[in-house]
Structure 1
Amino acid sequence: MNSKALLPICLAATTLAGCSLAPGYVRPTPPVSAQWPASANYGTTYAANPATEGQPDIAAIGWREMFRSPKLQRLIEAALTNNRDLRIATLNIEVARNTYRIQRADLLPSLDASGNYTRQRLSESTSGTGKPDVTSTYAVDIGATAYEVDLFGRVRNLGSRAMNQYLATEEGRKAAQTTLVAEVANAYLTYLADVELLQLTENTLSTRQETHDLIKRSFELGSKSRLDVAQSSMLVEAARASRAQYQRQVEQDKNALTLLVGREIEPELLEPEQLAQVQVMETLPAGIPAVVLLNRPDIRQAEYALKGENANIGAARAAFFPSISLTGSAGYASTSLSDLFLAGSSGVWSFTPKVNLPIFQGGRLRSNLKLAENNRDIALAQYEKAIQTAFREVADALVSRATYTEQLQAQRALVKENEQAKTITKARYAHGIDSHFALLDAERSLYEAQQNEILVHQRSLANLIDLYKALGGGWK
């Protein structure tokens, strides 16, 4: 084969370079305040400025550092391995990566080798000899078909869009992992809280049943009224109803955890521990909004999507200009197989450049450009909304963190006061000073206070998880 035959194609493919018509990308200014709300500074337990206080960036705090309870760590590990939503997000990365590689391949000419054999019969009028003739043709060649010379950056901008879509998908997987870690931790805390509430209710039911049995025997002996029996029975049935509720919730919590983990959970991991035993990092670096929010995976995902739509504008603009495509091949052709590869006598080549100049498209090109610009504006609005949503999530978590500590302390103090009130009321009732109704009211108040203590404790821990997630942690 004459290698000089492919020289025009190679020169065009490797030396021609074009400009990009995509608008220059400038990161939009975050549409949020430069500081967290002042109310978030009340009673804070987080580092407000990690740069000055020596605190690490939140993204550098892995979920193992955040959640130190062995059982919770094992549940999160299992979820990261088996959860189907995360698996889908990971597979989407492969889809986006291969899409980018396919698009990027258009920047280079595709070379194909082919061989063919043709045997045909020519009629008397077409053979040139006045007689019918049967001919055979053998051919092999290598060449490029319709390779577009990217003079105006259309192909490169499409490749840039595909690359940014791939990067956005990668960030989406990180965001999905952050969400999954937080959901597993919150589901585990909810399970522990409901188990504690169930245990509290069972103990309360047992105590109330014993009291009811004593009052009923006293009534039979004539020392208690029928009203005392009815009132104590009301407390017993209320506790029994609560027990059924918490039994249902505990089983539902197990189902929720199983779904998140993605497989059956080992029985030892469901052996309940006290909420007070759950070890969660309580000091988190909040930093400043512009630094923290732009590092969140979902914000980076939105920004890559914006960059992709920005590059697509360049591709739409390039469609207004002429496009050049190159088709060429070189090889051998002969009527005899034995003479096919004889240089000089059987060498063939072809080179076909093609210029396409759009003249009238019925407004299609202009509409495509407007569509690309509209998609860019939508991506910009989604990016800004993602930042605003993230700012609110962090601000809400910080405000809650500033109050949950005080609320939990107050709730624990309330439980102690209710315990003391019940002890005093029980003694006064035994001496005939207070009515049975007063004792029942004291018991109800203590039970409610104990329930609320468990719930506030669980919500306080959940708030730390929400803050960790909102600040962008959990994907490492």
Structure 2
Amino acid sequence: METKRIKETKMKHRKSFVLGILVLVGLYSCVPTREIRDENASVPENYQNQSTDTLNTGLVQWREFFKDPNLVALIDTALVKNQELNIMLQRVDMAKNVIQAKKGEYLPFVNLQAGAEVEKVGEYTRNGAVEKNLEIKEGEEFPEPLTNFGLGAFATWELDVWKKLRNEKKAAVYEYLSSVEGKNFMVTNLVSEVAASYYELMALDNELAIIDQNLEIQQNALRMVKLQKQAARATELAVKRFQAEVMKNQSHKYEIQQEITVVENRINFLIGRSPQHVDRTSDHFIETQIDTLYAGIPSQLLQNRPDVRQAEYELAAAKLDTKAAKASFYPQFTIKAGLGLEAFDTKYLTSTPESMLYSVMGDMVAPLINRNAIKAQYKNATDRQLQAVFEYEKAILNAYIEVANQLSNIDNLKKSYELKEGQVQALTESIDLSTRLFQSARVEYIEVLLAQREALESRMELVETKKDQMLAQVNMYRALGGGWN
């Protein structure tokens, strides 16, 4: 009879176990799944009207690309003292700390615990009755009230069956790598911004020099017109017009001086110092040779551009976050264990094995009803993954278009500069020619004014075009992913 009852009990336990398994299987077969399309990382084989040569200027270190020692010194200072870059470096360090935290989550937690307590229980309770019984057997009274002392180590360990914790740790690694690439992208932009401001400053110096040269020519012309008036060969109108032209350019000179101050202080801000003079050599700016740049092939952008790699790492992290979010639907297994000493009196605390305690316990916790929060987290994770796909594709497309634009810009600026050089030469010669014709009364004074004005404008435009060429070089270097290495 007893054997039959035992068999029935075992049969019930088996049925309950099988039923529990079926419930779990049925429950987790309903775990939501959202399909996310793969990213499109394809780029054209080559840039329009460009060769398929893999020689790439973006791989050149910035110290070799920029040859002006004053500019190199400014960039060196910026890479050490720029506040925004130093803020970014702290973000990178914090991302690295997250890896350490995530790594510790899937390792066992072991805590040392020591404690003391005092307790008075009623005699007509379970504990009270036990104490009275022990008192009769042992002939020794328990302390009243009862104290308790303990010392031991206790561990908890979540078994990473579904790789949730490991995926979170890997995602943290990718987030860290993304932050490193973000820092590299900031370095690229910082280098290019310092260089662009430096070339802009040199261009303003040259424009200021042109204004001074033109003022000297105009003041000579003004003296000439005054002499012509005294000889009754010119009118007061001509004198006033020449005076107005001189004042106009004197006013323009102060405008340029203010622009120089603004650009100098922009550079000082970028390199993290208070306003002061920026060393530069602007005398030969207009004769600066434009080096040939090599764009390589578009696929190199995937490796050279820090912003593209940053988006790639963000996408990898988003994929792992989606897996970790999905694992929240599955049961969580935890092991708890403890080993220590416990006694009602400290003199018995070291008496082993009587005072020794130990425990081992396994838990399984699974969400059963009202899983809306988990579903929402999973949907958000998949949405972020899809967002990261679009960000990655956008970064690739933007990189390709930036290079294509700069290739066209460099080519068009080269042609424009050659034509402007001829224009400057012709208009400069026209100043001397119109002045001599005016002295011989063969042309009106207005012709001299127009010749001077057009020559000034053409020289200023030539400097602007040279500046645009230098900026195009910098922008092309940045677009190819240069400057961070």
Same-fold call, TM cutoff 0.5: yes
Of 410, 434, 447, which aligns to 1:438? 447
2:312 to 281, 303, 312: 303
What SS class does the counterpart of residue 304 from structure 2 fall into?
coil
Aligned mates of 2:371, 2:105 — CA distance in 1:
28
Partner of 2:4: none
Establish whether residue 410 from structure 1 lines up as the match of residue 419 from structure 2.
yes
Which among 359, 373, 383 is matched to residue 364 of structure 1? 373
2:7 matched residue in structure 1 = none
Determine the structure 2 residue equivalent to 1:105.
104
Corresponding residue for residue 223 of structure 1: 233
TM (normalized to structure 2)? 0.85
Which residue matches 1:286?
A: 295
Note closer, same or farther for the CA distance 1:24–1:177 as it changes in structure 2 (3 Å cut). farther
Shift of 1:28: 3.1
Paired position in structure 2 for 1:36: 47
How far the C-alpha of 1:364 sits from its partner, in A, is 2.7
Verify the 8 A CA contact 1:23 1:310 in the aligned structure 2. no
Identity among equivalent positions (%) equals 24
Structure 1 runs not aligned, ≥5 long? 1-20, 42-47
Structure 1 residue 120: Cα displacement: 3.0
Letter in 1 for 2:117: T
Q: CA deviation at 1:277?
A: 6.8
For residues 179-194 of structure 1, the aligned pairs below 5 Å read 179-194=189-204
Question: RMSD in angstroms over aligned alpha carbons?
Answer: 2.5
Count, aligned residues: 442
Q: Report the residue type matching 1:178 in the other structure.
A: T
| CA drift at 1:471 | 0.3
Q: Give the CA deviation at 1:122.
A: 3.8
Compare relative contact order (CA 8 Å, sep 6+) and give the higher one, 1 or 2: 1
Q: 2-side partners of 1:112 and 1:164: how far apart?
A: 30
Aligned to 2:258: 248
**Whole-angstrom distance in 2 between the partners of 1:278 and 1:347:** 85
Aligned to 2:334: 325
Q: CA deviation at 1:475?
A: 0.2
CA distance in 1, matches of 2:181, 2:312: 10
CA 1:23 to 1:402, structure 2 compared with 1: closer, same or farther past 3 Å? farther
Between the aligned partners of 1:26 and 1:343, the Cα distance in structure 2 is: 63
Q: Deviations over 1:217-262 (max 9, x none)?
A: 4324533212211221221122112112101110111111111111
Aligned counterparts, 1:140-151, within 5 A: 140-145=151-156, 147-151=157-161
Contact 1:325 1:353 in 2 (8 A): yes
Q: Distance in 2 between matches of 1:30 and 1:154?
A: 28
Match of 1:116 in 2: 115
Instruction: Show the counterpart of 1:387.
Output: 396
Is residue 397 of structure 1 aligned with residue 397 of structure 2? Answer: no
CA contact (8 A) 2:160 2:166 kept: yes
- Pair 273,433 (structure 1): closer, same or farther in 2 beyond 3 Å: closer
**Inter-partner Cα distance in structure 2 for 1:310 and 1:340:** 52
1:475 to 459, 462, 484: 484
CA contact (8 A) 1:69 1:278 kept: no
| CA positional deviation for 1:77 | 0.5
Task: Give CA deviations for 1:157-202 in whole Å, capped at 9, x if unaligned.
Answer: 1112111111100000000000000000000000110111112112
Q: Which amino acid aligns with 2:75?
A: I
* Contact persistence 1:293–1:471 (CA under 8 A): no
Alignment correspondent of 1:421: 430
The CA deviation string for residues 89-118 of structure 1, in whole angstroms up to 9 with x for no partner, is: 111100111112111211211111111122
CA contact (8 A) 1:140 1:331 kept: yes
Specify the SS of the correspondent of 1:35. coil
Instruction: Give the Cα–Cα distance (whole angstroms) in 1 for the partners of residues 391 and 349 of structure 2.
Output: 62
Find the structure with the greater CA-based Rg.
2
Letter in 2 for 1:71: N
Report what 1:133 is aligned to: 144
1:269 aligned counterpart, secondary structure: coil
Residues 417 and 271 of structure 1, relative CA distance in 2, 3 Å threshold: closer
Residue in structure 1 matched with residue 135 of structure 2 by the alignment:
none
* Alpha-carbon distance change, 23 to 71 in structure 1, aligned in 2, over 3 angstroms: farther
> Deviations along 1:119-143, whole A, 9 cap, x unmatched?
3334454544679812222211112
1:263 aligns with one of 260, 273, 276: 273
Distance across 1 between alignment mates of 2:33 and 2:274? 51
For 2:88 and 2:418, the matched residues in 1 are separated by 41
Q: 1:162 to 1:466 in 2, by over 3 A?
A: same
Q: CA contact under 8 A between 1:122 and 1:133: conserved in structure 2?
A: no
CA apart distance, 1:285: 2.8
* C-alpha deviation, 1:361, in angstroms: 2.1
Which of 139, 152, 164 matches 2:162? 152
